[in-house]
Homo-oligomer: A and B are copies of this chain.
């Protein structure tokens, strides 16, 4: 290993600096925060081809994907910077005094303020967009929090390069010393020391259930519990409704063969579970999906640990009672490659066997054949929380299925119609999260500028004069922030 794990002393020093930086950074204006974020975007772009080459070497991801992901990361930084500066996310509420009431009503003004230093764990499957300068980092900086990255050991050099870009931007923008730190650590102890440090006030994580749940438990078992936002993936159920399936089983199969194997299946929104009702159309769908999968060539996975887990978890699933293998790629997988695989089983087997509810991270999906509509509803009701759920359905399919619709809505964070769950648009309307175990806090998103709110809390000021209030709460509103004044949303000054 090129990078050595940080010691507890080094971690302590990092956190002390972050704590000092927090008290300076939180006082900077929204524009100063946004300028810093935009400067990071510029420096990331300036890393040029070298960064792409480093990431290709470390992650096995193809060049086009990495270039796209860097562009996405830059878009995140710039668009969250714009949201930060615009200020509506501060959720400002102002109620002016009313001396005529009994007792007299004081002037009260509320806004969000940052929580404090945030630990962000780099995600192996998004070396740019959910790692060092990724979505969690951008949200924390926008909220007014220093960031400490726990570099993912599988792309430590990529992470180090991006960290240097952030430090360069921090220098150019005169950010306080300690606003950002980059911590290496292959061992569990480094993560634990970071999450349990008293100056840590929140945690962002994208990855496996085991890792994310462990961080959540550490965060809650502290003397002072802190919010831990773990996005832990899911199996992203896809329901094939009868009329739609009848109309276009082959097209759906082709669309899903591509979605299941996109990026070697290494997305948290990968459709790992497809549910239909026994019929000729479902048989056609399965046959076509199998044919498609046979022709998809295996590719290298992110790192040997992930490909080993993929093989093991897939093997375990395929060994379960009433599970059959529908098809595998006709091209043999070389070392470290993920072999695209489709399995199938019955609704009854799925309802009885928790193993089939577990994520198999990689190019794999299982098709569940329900005996009737009621069994499909039972499957929907028995699913754990999911990042996404998808319906392939006509209006007819939906309008007669109220109980089913409610059951699906109740378990997912994003509800998709006639499309695929892979591809997570970065926009304000996106919700990337979902009921546990998809994420540890279903009330917050890790994609889109609403993710900034994860790292902030409200404070209200009672009976302060205009001169003494924070700039965003003063009577004057020169930057036109949307504020709720006496129960009316307005951009006007008071």
Contacts and interface: CB of A to CB of B under 8 A. Distances in A.
Contacts of A94: 429
Interface string A243-261: 0000000000000000000
A459 B409 contact: yes
Contact of A489 (B110, B412, B482): B482
B428 A442 contact: no
A460 interface: yes
Nearest to A79: B487
Contacts of A414: 459-462
A27 B97 CA distance: 38
Contacts of A410: 23, 116
B468 A395 contact: yes
A230 to B, nearest CB: 11
Contacts of A435: 224, 457
Interface string A100-120: 000101101110010110000
B95 A417 contact: no
B216 A429 contact: no
A126 to B, nearest CB: 17
A437 interface: yes
A468 B431 contact: no
Contact of A457 (B216, B442, B453, B457): B442
A225 interface: yes
A443 B113 CA distance: 10
Contacts of A110: 428-431
Contacts of A484: 88, 428
Contacts of A108: 425, 427, 429-430
B427 A95 contact: yes
Nearest to A107: B429
A429 B415 CA distance: 33
A95 B430 CA distance: 9
Contact of A225 (B216, B398, B423, B482): B216
Nearest to A423: B103
A197 to B, nearest CB: 15
Nearest to A443: B457
A8 interface: no
A227 interface: yes
A435 B227 CA distance: 11
B431 A463 contact: no
A450 interface: yes
A106 B459 contact: no
6 contacts: A27-B406, A95-B428, A105-B425, A224-B436, A415-B459, A429-B460
Closest 9 CB pairs of A and B: A93-B429, A108-B429, A431-B460, A442-B457, A95-B429, A416-B462, A431-B458, A93-B428, A95-B427
Given A23-B403, A224-B384, A419-B462, 11 more contacts: A91-B450, A95-B429, A106-B425, A224-B385, A224-B435, A224-B437, A225-B436, A412-B459, A415-B460, A428-B484, A450-B458
